[in-house]
Every structure is written in structure tokens, then in C-alpha cells.
């Protein structure tokens, strides 16, 4: 009997596995494929990410340092409104290597991390949960091996389309966006990203990734024609891209993220920033909270987790929804708002509530 079976070894699952194992619990973490693949993420994160990986990992993971964004209401030729700091605000990192690094850290802390294990079902009992996994096939589908593991508690860290969320009867996130991205190999170590408010209710982007080239991407609701919008973006930039990736982005956490002996982490719990779709830092923040407050011998501590992560991230998520509404304002109002707010900023990219911080107010009022 494991204390925890973690389903999914992305940033949220790997971080929880590491922290729970370090706290002395027996942890099994199951990943359906190979950790880190397939890629469906820009890996554009605040510098807080370095608090979650071993100190020597930065050298391998860091691709570029970013200190601001140019916002456009139209395409690449439209007017750019610059939001910046003099020092770096965020980093572009190798996302595949991030996942591998986090999984290795979990292993080193004592978690049993197994790849090629697709969880196909869970069954709750009075004092434990059975977790059934199908092992990667080496021969035909008929030969697939099934294994069942017993756990006191199960962490569903299996991403935006979480099977564990459905199996536990938990509600879906408010909305799911469709995100796509692809790369141009031309190296670019510029320190600004470009954001285009041209995708319906969201945005398109260009991210310089140092020697790893340039990434172009966008996200929008699935009913928008995302591939056609992407084609329009890259045509406007006059680039040919390759290594096309696509993934879902949950926006708006479900009303409940815990059930009998099951709890959700990361994208499965909708722990993302509604105004960017970024979820790496929020998922790992929630994972740390879960490892701190959940006692596998006492399932009633799941409600402590439910309250504690909402307390930590709830205000920023609520404000993030409000910021996102600005993406759908009429164009003249967007121009006026971007003009009024652009310039040097003191905002933390994961914490929109820092818009009201002394640093941000100081930079706003000292500008003009
Ligand atoms: C186009 C795009 C760009 C993005 N860019 C950024 C960005 O720049 N910055 C940022 O912070 N966030 C970004 N995100 C969001 C970010 O990728 C997610 O928030 C983050 O990956 C969530 O981590 P997670 O561990 O919760 O889930 P995931 O990273 O999705 O990990 C879930 C894991 O569970 C595994 N799994 C799923 N089902 C099963 C199963 N049945 N059994 C076993 N394993 C299973 C999956 O294989 C996967 O490895 C982007 C997303 C998209 C789509």
C-alpha cells in the first residue's frame, strides 16, 4: 500500500511526488509516456521557477532572459506598446528538460517514478483506492499488461483533460482553450516577447528562445479556427515554422478539486493564470501546499488542501479573469488602455494582484 499514487509526471505531479517523498511518505508516480513528451508548452516562466529545481539545473534549462513584452492590437507591423523592466522579469526555459529535471528530483527524494504506465481507472474503497494502469505495449494491444496498485490517497496530476477528475466525479474547469505553437530555427536572444491581441478572447505570441530559435504560438477557444489563425500569424511574420505542437489550456478551476481519497493538482485542477494560460508555477505552488497539508492517514485533510490552495492562488486567478476581459474590448479602447499603462512595470508576472503593489504604483505615477 502506497501513501500516495500520483497520476501524471508533469511539473505538478513531479513536484508533489518529490515533496511528499521528502516528507517521508511512500510515493508511486505513474506517467503514461516518457516524462516531458510530447511538448505542448512555451516554457515561458517567472524567475521563481529556479526555487523549484536543483541549483545546477539552471545552466541546462535556461534558454533566454526576458525583461518585457511588446503588446500589439494588430499584427507585427502594428504599433507596439512596451511593458518592461530594466532587469529580467521572466525566463524562457527548455520545457522537456524541466519535466525531466523535476522527475529526477522526485526520484532522488525517494519517489518511485515509472514511465510507460497509463492509468486507466481508479476504484475507491473504505480505506484505500485501487489504481489500474496499462503498461506500454511491446507487442500487440492484446498483450498489454495491466497492473493494479493500492494507495491511501491518489493525486490526479494528469493534465487538462484529466481522467482522474472524471473518474472521481469532479466538475470540469470553466473553459478549455486550444493552444498551438511551432518554431523557427533562427537564433534570437532579444529580451522582449511580442503579444498580439488578434486571437478571439486570447492572444498570439512570438518568443525569442536564444539558440533554440524563435517560437510562434497562439491560443483561442476551440471553436475558433486555431490552425488558420496560426497560419495567418506566421505569414504576417513571413516565417516558415516546424515542430508544430498543440495542447489544451484549462481556464477557471472547477468548483471542487477533492473527492473521497482523491485530489487534483495543476492543470487537472485548473490551476492556471486566466490571462496567459500559464500553469507551471501555479501547479507547483499547489503541489507544495498539498505536500504540506495532506496527511495520507487522514483523508479529512483534503479539505484543508482545497481551502489552502484557493487562499494562495484565488485572488490572482480572479483578477486574471478580469485582465483577460480586456483582450475582447473594442480596438480603440485597447489602444487607449495600452498607451496609458505601457512603460516600466513593477508587476510580478504570476501575481496580477501585484498591480496594486507599491512598486507598480510608483512606476505608474513616475512615468509621465
Ligand atoms: C500551447 C501552450 C503553451 C503554454 N505555455 C506556457 C508557458 O509559457 N508557461 C506556463 O507556465 N505554462 C504554459 N502552458 C501551460 C502549461 O503547459 C501547463 O499549465 C502545465 O504543463 C501544467 O502542468 P501539469 O503537471 O498540471 O500537467 P501536464 O504538464 O499536462 O502533465 C500531465 C502529465 O500527466 C500525464 N498523463 C495524462 N494522463 C495520464 C494517465 N491516464 N496516466 C498516466 N499519466 C497521464 C501526461 O502524459 C503528462 O505528462 C502552455 C500550454 C499550452 C497548451
Assess whether the C-beta atom of 280 lies below 6 angstroms from ligand 1.
yes
Distance 249 CA to ligand 1 centre (A): 8
DSSP one-letter code for 111? -
Q: What is the pLDDT of residue 138?
A: 57
Give the closest residue to 265 by CA, choosing from 27, 58, 92.
Answer: 27
Q: What is the pLDDT of residue 188?
A: 98
What are the grid coordinates assigned to 359, written together? 512598486
Residue from 34, 121, 278, 281 whose mutation best tests the ligand 1 pocket (most atoms within 8 A of CB): 278
Q: How far apart are CA 278 and CA 271, in angstroms?
A: 9
Task: Estimate to the nearest angstrom the gap between the alpha carbon of 330 and the chain centroid.
Answer: 29
Assess whether the C-beta atom of 217 lies below 6 angstroms from ligand 1.
yes
Q: What is the pLDDT of residue 276?
A: 96
Instruction: Please answer whether residues 102 and 52 qualify as being in contact, where contact means their C-beta atoms are separated by less than 8 angstroms.
Output: yes
What are the grid coordinates assigned to 28, written together? 508511486
Q: What is the pLDDT of residue 79?
A: 96
Assess whether the C-beta atom of 207 lies below 6 angstroms from ligand 1.
no
Give the closest residue to 158 by CA, choosing from 117, 208, 200, 211.
Answer: 117
Distance 214 CA to ligand 1 centre (A): 21
Distance 218 CA to ligand 1 centre (A): 16
Distance 10 CA to ligand 1 centre (A): 6
CA distances from 244 to 40, 75, 286 (A): 9, 21, 30
Burial call 326-362: b when 16+ CB within 10 Å, e when fewer:
ebeeeeeebbeebeebbbbbbbbbbbbebbeeeebee
How many alpha carbons lie under 13 Å from residue 310 in its C-beta half-sphere? 15
DSSP one-letter code for 191? S
DSSP code string of 235-278: HHHT---EEEEEEEEEES--S--EETTEEE-GGGGT-S-TTT--
Q: Which ligand 1 atom is nearest residue 269's CA?
A: 26
Instruction: Please answer whether residues 134 and 178 qualify as being in contact, where contact means their C-beta atoms are separated by less than 8 angstroms.
Output: no
Assess whether the C-beta atom of 90 lies below 6 angstroms from ligand 1.
no
Distance 159 CA to ligand 1 centre (A): 5
Distance 122 CA to ligand 1 centre (A): 21
Q: Give nearest CA residue, ligand 1 atom 2.
A: 41
Q: What is the pLDDT of residue 354?
A: 86
Assess whether the C-beta atom of 163 lies below 6 angstroms from ligand 1.
yes
Q: What is the pLDDT of residue 365?
A: 62
Assess whether the C-beta atom of 274 lies below 6 angstroms from ligand 1.
no
Residue from 43, 277, 284, 348 whose mutation best tests the ligand 1 pocket (most atoms within 8 A of CB): 277
Q: Give nearest CA residue, ligand 1 atom 50.
A: 41
Q: What is the pLDDT of residue 363?
A: 64
pLDDT by residue for the chain (368 residues), tens only, comes to: 999 999 999 999 999 999 999 999 999 999 999 999 999 999 999 999 999 999 999 999 999 999 999 999 999 999 999 999 999 999 999 999 999 999 999 999 999 999 999 999 999 999 999 999 999 765 555 556 999 999 999 999 999 999 999 999 999 999 999 999 999 999 999 999 999 999 989 999 999 999 999 999 999 998 889 999 999 999 999 999 999 999 999 999 999 999 999 999 999 999 999 999 999 999 999 999 999 999 999 999 999 999 999 999 999 999 999 999 999 999 999 999 999 999 998 889 999 998 776 666 666 566 55
Instruction: Please answer whether residues 54 and 139 qualify as being in contact, where contact means their C-beta atoms are separated by less than 8 angstroms.
Output: no
Residue from 6, 10, 47, 233 whose mutation best tests the ligand 1 pocket (most atoms within 8 A of CB): 10
Assess whether the C-beta atom of 98 lies below 6 angstroms from ligand 1.
no
Residue from 19, 28, 41, 208 whose mutation best tests the ligand 1 pocket (most atoms within 8 A of CB): 41
Amino acid at each position: 500500500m502506497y501513501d500516495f499514487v500520483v497520476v501524471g509526471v508533469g511539473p505538478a505531479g513531479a513536484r508533489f511526488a518529490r515533496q511528499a517523498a521528502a516528507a517521508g511518505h511512500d510515493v508511486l508516480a505513474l506517467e503514461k509516456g516518457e516524462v516531458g513528451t510530447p511538448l505542448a508548452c512555451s516554457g515561458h516562466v517567472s524567475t521563481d521557477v529556479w526555487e523549484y529545481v536543483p541549483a545546477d539545473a539552471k545552466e541546462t534549462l535556461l534558454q533566454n532572459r526576458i525583461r518585457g513584452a511588446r503588446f500589439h492590437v494588430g499584427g507585427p507591423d502594428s504599433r507596439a506598446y512596451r511593458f518592461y523592466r530594466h532587469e529580467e522579469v521572466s525566463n524562457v526555459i527548455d520545457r522537456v528538460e524541466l519535466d525531466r529535471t523535476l522527475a529526477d528530483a522526485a526520484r532522488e527524494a525517494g519517489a518511485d517514478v515509472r514511465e510507460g504506465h497509463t492509468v486507466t481507472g481508479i476504484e475507491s474503497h473504505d480505506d484505500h483506492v485501487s489504481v489500474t494502469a496499462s503498461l506500454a505495449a511491446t507487442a500487440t494491444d492484446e498483450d498489454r499488461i495491466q497492473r493494479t496498485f493500492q494507495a491511501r490517497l491518489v493525486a490526479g496530476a494528469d493534465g487538462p483533460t484529466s481522467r482522474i477528475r472524471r473518474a472521481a466525479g469532479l466538475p470540469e474547469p470553466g473553459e478549455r482553450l486550444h493552444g498551438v505553437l511551432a518554431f523557427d530555427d533562427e537564433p534570437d536572444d532579444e529580451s522582449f516577447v511580442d503579444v498580439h491581441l488578434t486571437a478571439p478572447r486570447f492572444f498570439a505570441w512570438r518568443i525569442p528562445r536564444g539558440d533554440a530559435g524563435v517560437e510562434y504560438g497562439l491560443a483561442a477557444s476551440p471553436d475558433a479556427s486555431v490552425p488558420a489563425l496560426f497560419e495567418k500569424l506566421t505569414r504576417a511574420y513571413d516565417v516558415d515554422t516546424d515542430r508544430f505542437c498543440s495542447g489544451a489550456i484549462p481556464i477557471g478551476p472547477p468548483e471542487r478539486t477533492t473527492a473521497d481519497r482523491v485530489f487534483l493538482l495543476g492543470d487537472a485542477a485548473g490551476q492556471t493564470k486566466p490571462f496567459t494560460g500559464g500553469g507551471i508555477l501555479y501547479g507547483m505552488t499547489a503541489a507544495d501546499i498539498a505536500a504540506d497539508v495532506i496527511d495520507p492517514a487522514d483523508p479529512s485533510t483534503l479539505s484543508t488542501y482545497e481551502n489552502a490552495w484557493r487562499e494562495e492562488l484565488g485572488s490572482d486567478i480572479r483578477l486574471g479573469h478580469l485582465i483577460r476581459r480586456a483582450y475582447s474590448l473594442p480596438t480603440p479602447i485597447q489602444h487607449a488602455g495600452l498607451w496609458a499603462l505601457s512603460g516600466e512595470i513593477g508587476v510580478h508576472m504570476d501575481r496580477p494582484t501585484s498591480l496594486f503593489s507599491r512598486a507598480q504604483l510608483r512606476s505608474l505615477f513616475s512615468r509621465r
